[in-house]
Amino acid sequence: DAGVTQSPTHLIKTRGQQVTLRCSPKSGHDTVSWYQQALGQGPQFIFQYYEEEERQRGNFPDRFSGHQFPNYSSELNVNALLLGDSALYLCASSFLGLGQSTEAFFGQGTRLTVV
Amino acid sequence: KQEVTQIPAALSVPEGENLVLNCSFTDSAIYNLQWFRQDPGKGLTSLLLIQSSQREQTSGRLNASLDKSSGRSTLYIAASQPGDSATYLCAALNAGKSTFGDGTTLTVKP
């Protein structure tokens, strides 16, 4: 079992550019959540995807968008990058059993630096 | 809106000491509470998951407790080792969304 895999591991972008981050969930999981973690802080919830639909969303602007594919993998897109978007982006997968997510497993993250 | 607080923000102990990390949350209608470990620049490793109907969970030298009524969870680490040095995060799950504290950074000195 490969667990949750994210790509790329590191990325450097220029202000104003667009970026796409990718996540493959743990085998058997159907739900993917994305988090942004600034240095020294806990992860902040961006959104969650289930059945290819955005199920929940945190307090992030529309510049942050996502997608889930039929194989449950997911992408996070950020447009018009700002310096403040520099952070570790984490993907978590879980199984939405009886309407609530089970234990969440996290990937190793993508370190995004905006210059 | 759920808010999660972890105290202390940092803790330094000598090897072999038993210690307790604290996590408090404002909305007691949680589905579960999960403890994670994070090494510098890395992702999160799940340590223990406590369902809302449970009071505690144990794994090796780790024991986590949950008191929903008071909005508190604790992570007890027995006989600490230098390899336990990391940031420990708790997360409360409500309505499909996890809210994290800012973590406690633990340093265990040899």
Region A54-79: mean pLDDT is: 96
Calculate how close chain A gets to B25, using CA atoms only, in Å.
14
| Interface membership of A25 toward B (CB under 8 Å) | no
Given pLDDT bands bounded at 50, 70 and 90, which one contains residue B31? confident
pLDDT digits (tens, 9 = 90+) for A5-63: 999 999 999 999 999 999 999 998 999 999 999 999 999 999 999 999 999 899 999 99
Q: Can you tell me the distance from the alpha carbon of B1 to that of B109, in angstroms, rounded to the nearest whole number?
A: 38
Are A44 and B100 a contacting pair at CB < 8 A? Answer: yes
The larger pLDDT score, comparing residue B53 to residue B81, is at B81
Q: Can you tell me the distance from the alpha carbon of B100 to that of B87, in angstroms, rounded to the nearest whole number?
A: 13
SS3 state of residue B24: strand
The larger pLDDT score, comparing residue A104 to residue A34, is at A34
Nearest CB among B42, B44, B96 relative to A101 is that of B96
Interface with chain A: mutation pick from B44, B50, B52, B104, highest number of A CBs within 10 Å: B44
Are B99 and A45 a contacting pair at CB < 8 A? Answer: yes
Are B46 and A106 a contacting pair at CB < 8 A? Answer: yes
Region A87-112: mean pLDDT is: 85
| Interface membership of B39 toward A (CB under 8 Å) | no
Residue with tokens 């406590």: B50
Residue with tokens 């209608």: B29
Region A89-96: mean pLDDT is: 91
| Confidence at residue A59, expressed as pLDDT on a 0 to 100 scale | 93
| Confidence at residue B1, expressed as pLDDT on a 0 to 100 scale | 87
Comparing A44-48, A58-62, B7-11, B41-45, which segment has the lowest mean pLDDT? B41-45
Q: Can you tell me the distance from the alpha carbon of B106 to that of B68, in angstroms, rounded to the nearest whole number?
A: 25
Given pLDDT bands bounded at 50, 70 and 90, which one contains residue A97? low
Region A79-101: mean pLDDT is: 87
| Confidence at residue B66, expressed as pLDDT on a 0 to 100 scale | 97
| Confidence at residue B45, expressed as pLDDT on a 0 to 100 scale | 92
What residues contact B62, with CB distance under 8 A and at least 6 apart? B35, B47, B48, B75, B76, B77, B78
Q: What percent of chain B has pLDDT over 90?
A: 83
Q: What percent of chain B has pLDDT over 70?
A: 100
Region B37-42: mean pLDDT is: 91
* Number of Cβ within a 10 Å radius of residue B50: 20
Average pLDDT over chain B reads 94
Nearest CB among B89, B93, B96 relative to A42 is that of B89
Q: For residue A104, is pLDDT > 90?
A: no
- Give yes or no for a contact between B82 and B12, defined as CB atoms under 8 angstroms apart: no
What residues contact A98, with CB distance under 8 A and at least 6 apart? none
